[in-house]
Structure 1
């Protein structure tokens, strides 16, 4: 096997890096250089050969110790490979990684299977090869179809959201108390990322309005590598009363049915949300989180207290 190089950010050939992610069967938008540059505090890289496989290493530093961490608005990273199956390469990349980092957590993607000590997390996807009528038949009759039948479609309007800030403001308004781990600066970084994605034609903004013209639900999605990622989905209090979230997802599916892309719900391990996503006939495509610690116990304890704050 060819050697795996450790590179700092300024040593990465971003053209070759992005070409690898683009060509990899498991390529995901989070691994592109522009995404990492916007959202990661810092990132290094592991590269196999001439960018035949890559692994981003997002890191922070505390007390002079560099550690790997979860990047906001980023579900999966790990190993992305063009030629060899990624799962076969993961052990080698993890070994190389631990030559440079002694502590942290790595969010491995759905194709990075076989790491026995990794925690398994839920992510639902829905392939949109078939037309809408066929996909609709796969909805769970006792849940989604029943609630969709209750909707007065003449009083709900599915339309584009004008700018990322609108979707982000709705998300923060509805969920800030529940997702306090995301800092104001990280929302600003994500908005800038969304604006770049919009210029590239990768951003999709959709929402549901009521008769009064107020938003009842919004969605911010990124489309790349034949995958439509539902990064932000928000239902405002008035929208809950009229099943605006059901209507929004159903209309997104209707819009992209027959396109052949994969609708990625981006989760969830939360039972209520998982039940909702499963109701649309989606299937679980799990991803994995690998945590490691080769530091003295007392340093690791103090570091974990700091990094979780």
Structure 2
């Protein structure tokens, strides 16, 4: 099974995207438009004629190319029409190691350290899904109902990103302004493709107190950015936001991908909705020569 290394300029994007979209483990992060926007550089490992693929997102430091995880790109890995096995995993990992001697990436196959990701299937009617809600969530939704909140659609990408930066940027010092600029470009591209979804909660004064920016494909709704203001917390606006989102898309063939998290408070929030863990994995290796081996 020949796995070829293909540099970016030689990737057949039509075949690439066809492979990603038809993959049994398809994820929007691996689509070419997503990688073009968020990765500083990316090449590929390809099995035969795009029967299975693995994006290689890379950067350079001290003149040495290494694999890294682009911001707002939860996981990548190997994508194929059928489930992959350990033999194929090793073929792709070996191919990556032959080109890059250092890697810290998140992948969709079992290797390295498991990471937490919560998902909620939406195929059931809303009333059935709501039966999975935890009691404290139901209490919070009852509290939210006292504030006459409104759940509305939005097309304002910049409002969603700026609110997120205002409230959460300090928690993510590794994400820089140019990363948010790349993310804005990604969202514009997704909007043109009909893959962008923004929903927000407004109060009686018309102020935005919670907002969710998601991407969607044929299988999933990806919670890329959700923000709640201080006022929004006081009236449980984030609980209301996701409850209404679930209600809007219930009975459709989607999975709501909450995108994490191992942080207890965030994990607990997603679990209130009946979400279950679908893990992904952190792959790290370091085959750099001394003394570079000890430099990050």
Q: TM-score range by the shorter chain?
A: over 0.9
If the length of structure 1 is used for normalisation, what is the TM-score? 0.93
Post-superposition offset of 1:3: 0.4
Residues 156-198 of structure 1 deviation map (CA, whole Å, 9 limit, x = unaligned) = 1100123111100110011011112111111111111101111
Q: CA RMSD in A?
A: 1.2
If the length of structure 2 is used for normalisation, what is the TM-score? 0.97
Post-superposition offset of 1:145: 1.1
Alignment match, 2:239: 246
Paired with 2:147 and 2:227, the residues of 1 have a C-alpha distance of 21
Are the counterparts in 2 of residues 155 and 210 from structure 1 also a CA contact under 8 Å? Answer: yes
Paired with 1:291 and 1:91, the residues of 2 have a C-alpha distance of 14
Alignment match, 1:56: 55
Pick aligned residue for 1:210 from 184, 187, 203 = 203
Post-superposition offset of 1:154: 5.3
Alignment match, 1:307: none
Paired with 2:219 and 2:169, the residues of 1 have a C-alpha distance of 31
Are the counterparts in 1 of residues 147 and 203 from structure 2 also a CA contact under 8 Å? Answer: no
Pick aligned residue for 1:271 from 253, 264, 267 = 264
Post-superposition offset of 1:88: 4.7
Pick aligned residue for 2:248 from 255, 276, 285 = 255
Alignment match, 2:41: 42
Post-superposition offset of 1:147: 1.0
Query: Which 4+ runs in 1 deviate beyond 6 A?
Result: none
Unaligned ranges ≥5, structure 1: 305-309
SS at match of 2:98: coil
Paired with 2:285 and 2:163, the residues of 1 have a C-alpha distance of 36
Paired with 1:222 and 1:229, the residues of 2 have a C-alpha distance of 5
Are the counterparts in 2 of residues 161 and 218 from structure 1 also a CA contact under 8 Å? Answer: no
Alignment match, 1:191: 184
SS at match of 1:81: coil
- Report the count of equivalent residues: 296
Change (3 A) 1:44 1:182: same
Post-superposition offset of 1:242: 0.4
